Chain A
Amino acid sequence: MRRPGLTTRFLAVSGGVIAGIFLLAAALARQSNEPSTRPADMQRLVWIFATIISVVVIVASLIQAGMVLPRLRRILRGMEEVRGGGYPRLLAAGSDELAETVRGFNETVDTLRARDEKLRAWAGHRESELMKLSQELDHERERLDTVLSAIGDGVIVLDSENKVLMANRRVSEIFGIPVEQLQGCDLAVLIEQVRHRLLRPDLVEKKVLELRRAPSLVDEVTLELDDPGHQAIRLYSVPVHGADGHVIGRIATSLDLGREREIERMKTEFLSTISHELRTPLTSIKGSLGLVLGGAAGTFSADARELLDIARTNTDRLVRIINQILDMMLLERGQALIRPVPTPLGTCAERALRAVAAPAQEAGVEVRLQILASMPNVLGDSRRVEQVLVNLLSNAIKFSTQGHEVVLSARAEGDTAHVTVQDWGCGMSPEFLERLFTKFEHAEGSLTRESQGMGLGLAICRHVVQAHGGRIWAESKEGAGSTFHFTLPLSISPIAEPERRSAPAAADASGAPRLVLVIDNDEDVARILSYIFETQGHQVICAHSGKEALELARRHRPDLITLDLNLPDLDGFEVLRLLRATEESRHIPVICISVRPDVRLALALGADFCMEKPLDIDRLRELSGKALATVR
């Protein structure tokens, strides 16, 4: 049976009370009509009536409260429980409004529970995903840290404000700051940290300023450290661009030049030792064979002589191979001393012809020379030019057949000498022609030829010609012969006096010829240095002693000085100190060039650059360009 609603029940109670009041009021009215009723009795009855009514109203109120309050309290407790994270279920007996409210509460709690469970499941899933990502991130970071620390060279990543985002152990060593403290450091602060150890802090600071002004600059700077090891570190830096093309930072890597130089020194030492160790036993073999064949040990049969001849020929071949390998290695590393001076090409050609006369005669090949007597001198190292000619002529003879001729010709074309060696032999395939100047390459089927070497001859020719600033190439047709071409620069000005000469052209970016003071006690070296600067369009004055140098520097105030440290009167370091102490020469860039191993000390005394001999012409051009760029 459906239970009545709260309103009905409240109305029933209230109706009961009102009915009681009306009954009492009627009884009171009847009593007041009685004649026997006195006013005092009437007054008492009214008081009794009021008291009864009050009691009935209180009782009715209590009954109504008793019907609602306990159920409301249960609902409130349930809500409290929901707030605390619980999911209570309340008893929903009956069908009144409160029972309906309880049922609504229960449904809401059920919905909440279901939603929470779903949320918890999703959160758990996301949490495990995040955990996995975090682990992967940690792993990647560890891997990156390991890689960065394993790199011997320094790696530093900067943000757009030049603050360190990441740096490795080597950077920490260079700047003397623990890796963890590098994070967030400003580049200027880092430079300040090593400022006292830098030989030229001004150059480094200037470079940092340039990078700030032009963030997209790809640049390099060398840090020369004034420590016992005279560390030199070259920093290469490149900008990092964001998706929108803006520079968002910079990555710099450092190269330890000290280590590089040490490796170079070791390689040279190794080459020298290998060369010596191979030559020593060969000397005994070749010497002994020569003596025996020369009759020092008496006479022997024709067969024995033939065998000894084979031994001698192959010893000579071995010597040639060793020479070629050594030469190739030196040329490849730019260490072969090539000194281009004005050289008569005709003389080199004649000497080359004499060198190949015997094999040419043996092969029945005639070698002709076509060089005009008026041919200007080339700018070349005569021994090297001759080496190229002998190589090309030997090849031409080797691939010609009896009765053929080989022609060596040369002509001047502008400021270049164009030399050709032409033969009408077997020629080469287009495929071989492409890799002709690559080392260890042989023409097809030529390995069987007795005189075949390592395939280094043409590779050496290429290096030699290129070291002179020339070009080498070949044209060939199978069965129709080959023509080898190479060019050399012509000597544009005779070198006679190492005195001040006029410049052929201004090569400096500013357009004005510069004055270079070359200080070297060796006149030949001074002449070569002069020539290098003159071909760049500069004017040159030379000094062969310290005192002469100081006087010329004071009088002429050159734009650049090259200084040899071994001078007859004053020590080169002393000359440098005096140059720096004199007002007129204080700011002139100085490049120290010396065979002395302590040449780098010159940097501490104020030299701008230093170079070890033997002279690396390209490096000198590069350094003088840099030094002159600072002079305006």
Chain B
Amino acid sequence: MEREVKLTRVLVVEDDVDIQKVIRMSLKLRGVSEVVLVESGTECIERLSGFTPDVILLDVMMPHVDGYETCWRLKQDPATRAIPVVFLTARVQKADRERGMKLGALGYLTKPFDPMTLHDQILELLTEHAGKKNENDGGADG
């Protein structure tokens, strides 16, 4: 049976307040009911106790704990490992992208982004991910 892909709760980890607003508006406009904004990797990890978003939108360049380390910590913790992480960052070099993907992220989106397609891009990544999981589960079942 196919899993239902939903995008109603998003945790945004972004230290720039203006960009936070743009992301929130762009997601709200497309029907995301709960957009939680935090400013750092530490806040992100704290906020996840008792809250499981459908996806974490993660910036890279943040003070203290950067996005890469945040992602690594999330993937190390069994409680947060399964939450899909999508990077949304101004670090556009290929090596940065590869580093992010190697840490277990679902996708790597770069800034500046199109606010009208951001929701679709995330949804596409989640759908693709769900499809792969279905295939794997199917294979395992079979």
The yes or no answer to A193 lying at the interface (CB within 8 A) is no
Which stretch of A286-294, A401-409, A422-430 is in the interface? A286-294
Which residues in window 371-389 of A have CB below 8 A to B?
Answer: 383
Contact, CB under 8 Å: B93 / A291: no
A contact residues around B29 at 8 Å (CB): 291, 294, 296
Chain A interface residue count, Cβ-Cβ cutoff 8 angstroms: 29
Contact, CB under 8 Å: A287 / B91: no
Query: In the complex, how many angstroms separate the beta carbon of A21 from the nearest chain B beta carbon?
Result: 137
Contact, CB under 8 Å: B19 / A290: no
Contact A275/B90 with A291-B29, A291-B115, A294-B29 known, Cβ cut-off 8 Å: yes
The yes or no answer to B69 lying at the interface (CB within 8 A) is no
CA distance in complex: A294, B117 (Å): 10
CA distance in complex: A280, B111 (Å): 7
The yes or no answer to A8 lying at the interface (CB within 8 A) is no
Do most interface residues of chain A lie in helix, strand or loop, or is the interface mixed? helix
Closest residue on chain A to residue B88 by CB atoms: A283
Contact A280/B114 with A287-B26, A291-B26, A337-B95 known, Cβ cut-off 8 Å: no
Contact, CB under 8 Å: B112 / A319: yes
Contact A276/B61 with A284-B16, A284-B19, A291-B29 known, Cβ cut-off 8 Å: yes
Contact A291/B112 with A272-B91, A283-B90, A284-B16 known, Cβ cut-off 8 Å: no
Which residues in window 92-138 of B have CB below 8 A to A?
Answer: 92-95, 98, 102, 111-116
CA distance in complex: A286, B111 (Å): 9
Query: In the complex, how many angstroms separate the beta carbon of B2 from the nearest chain A beta carbon?
Result: 29
Closest residue on chain A to residue B99 by CB atoms: A595
Closest residue on chain B to residue A614 by CB atoms: B95
CA distance in complex: A614, B92 (Å): 15
The yes or no answer to A13 lying at the interface (CB within 8 A) is no
Closest residue on chain A to residue B96 by CB atoms: A272
Query: In the complex, how many angstroms separate the beta carbon of A231 from the nearest chain B beta carbon?
Result: 27
CA distance in complex: A286, B26 (Å): 12
The yes or no answer to B35 lying at the interface (CB within 8 A) is no
The yes or no answer to B25 lying at the interface (CB within 8 A) is yes
CA distance in complex: A326, B95 (Å): 14
The yes or no answer to B23 lying at the interface (CB within 8 A) is yes
Closest residue on chain A to residue B115 by CB atoms: A290
Contact A294/B91 with A276-B61, A284-B19, A287-B19 known, Cβ cut-off 8 Å: no
Contact A294/B95 with A283-B19, A284-B19, A284-B22 known, Cβ cut-off 8 Å: no
A contact residues around B61 at 8 Å (CB): 276
Contact A280/B19 with A290-B26, A323-B92, A326-B92 known, Cβ cut-off 8 Å: yes
**B residues apposed to A, CB below 8 Å:** 16, 18-19, 22-23, 25-26, 29, 61, 90-95, 98, 102, 111-116
**A residues apposed to B, CB below 8 Å:** 272, 275-276, 279-288, 290-291, 293-294, 296, 315, 319, 323, 326, 330, 336-337, 383, 522, 613-614
A-B contact sample (17 more), CB < 8 A, given A275-B92, A287-B113, A296-B25: A275-B90, A279-B112, A280-B19, A280-B111, A282-B112, A284-B19, A286-B113, A287-B112, A287-B115, A288-B22, A290-B115, A291-B25, A291-B29, A291-B115, A522-B102, A613-B95, A614-B94
